Structure 1
Amino acid sequence: MGGPPCPDFSIGGKNRGKEGDNGKLSACYAELICQQKPDFFLFENVKGLWRTKKHRTFFEALKTQLIQSGYVLVERLINAIEYGVPQDRERIILIGFRTSLLKDFGIKINSNIRILPEAYFAWDKYIIHPINKVVSLPWPTTNSFQENSLLPYPDSIPLPLTVEYWFRENDVLNHPNAQHHFQPKAGIKKFASVDEGDVSKKSFKRLHRWRYSPTACYGNNEVHLHPYKIRRLSVAEALAIQSLPKNFSLPANMSLTNMFKTVGNGVPYLAAKAIAKTMLNFLETREWDNEQPVNLRL
């Protein structure tokens, strides 16, 4: 279970695709699965691999390779916010099960099956906030920035999906990584000029305390600013946005660059946990005996 490096497929990355040094690792990942033949696997990557035309061709070729190696597949474009993460983060999830494993479970399939119907795989079971409902809520947009300002919570939105809720929940000011943030050598004036909630630019996005965060990605000069302080986010705050438990921290001897790279490359904890539970539920299911064979082709 894992996600090969994604910069070559990212819309905001180098976009080199399968020919890039990182892109080639996705092919290696699929090749290792075909060689080692685990009972099941999970492949995670950015939505660009799934949505961008030239990358999608490569993605489909990987799927064909896995199918020919004896796997039945199920996939979904997920958003971490659906699982209670205070972050708008889309990722493609591809899961494969060996045909022999499914037969052992009593799932009656024909030899030419290619895609596992979603009716068998309960993607929605652990979704808390369906994405179409979340995005239609009356989220606050922007407020003028004022250092250490107070802003009342608008009770028309779910509090656990807000940045401020997670800052308080994880006690970020007293967290072991609380002081791990980049100290600006210049640009304080620029920091103060960005409104709270203005995430319209590629860099220098100021989060809104009563809204979810854009994708926590801190490479390619992307900078996220604290909602009401004149500084960038701390590692403790970034971990909170990834929905990690309060007691999780990164070693103090890591460089700041590697800390933020580690956080940004990670799958949000609550999303990973929900998908793992969905897979576990499927693997523990034995109520297939009365199902009719499914005959679907890729």
Structure 2
Amino acid sequence: MTIAVMGAGAVGAYHGALLARAGHAVTLIGRPAHVDAVRAHGLRLQTATLDVQVPLAASTSPEAARGAGLVLVCVKSGDTEAAADALRPHLGADTLVLSLQNGVDNAARLRARLAQPVGAAVVYVATEMAGPGHVRHHGRGELLIEPAPGAAAVAAIFTAAGIPTTVSEDVQAALWSKLTLNCAYNALSALARQPYGRLVQAPGVAAVMRDVVAECRAVAAAEGVRLPAELDASVAGLAATMPGQFSSTAQDLMRGRRSEIDHLNGLVVRRGEAHGVPTPANRVLHTLVRLVEDAAG
């Protein structure tokens, strides 16, 4: 399959590398330093069992998506509309666009700007960019995608490439569940500059996470989304599965970049306000991360 990855950060590069290793024609679309490194040496994929250079194409231009049967959108949530506008002239009528992004509304925002079929995916993977052209995997790696034209074929392709993928009608609830996990961990990991394993051992952290989860559950219910009862246990147990992982928000702040906090805790605050649901824990975490971002310029 011909596949383009729009936004070749840690998530995009990881999935692109596995698909390329499985024999698909993959093009990463990303930042110049990353693209230059991939063009020169291939993408270094480092996991617990692999450390390989994966040859694949790379470009800084969205035009590189022309001719792709599948486009994975992996940009930050704040760049969703800009990515859709940049891709639009280069997509075929039947190109499947799949959002592999944090947050709960990116697929809807893509659909508002694209005529092509768009599917949402829930990404369960811990990765980081260890440098230009170098992605490091820390844990998990499965996908959940919503039904869309071609979704079943894409799920089979991903699974065969080592990315266990399931097509599910429950993607919206899964997106809200993942949002809740991110709201519990991302800001705290960023503010403390701690990986999950050390973070959860600090006094008071577990209680703050419980408050965040309770607020997310209340807002989701107001949105008509019922979160699973076992979500609290999933949040509590996440650190054990990814002890060395820094949140994506922490990685952004450590690199001096804007994070997706407006689409994580910030989204919960905004939706809570719309429904009259109080969200004080999420509001404090959102505000503190924005203060750190503003201080960094």
TM-score after normalising by structure 1: 0.27
Which protein, 1 or 2, shows the higher relative CO under an 8 Å CA cutoff with sep ≥ 6?
A: 1
Higher strand share: 2
Q: What's the TM-score once normalised by structure 2's chain length?
A: 0.27
Bigger CA radius of gyration: 1
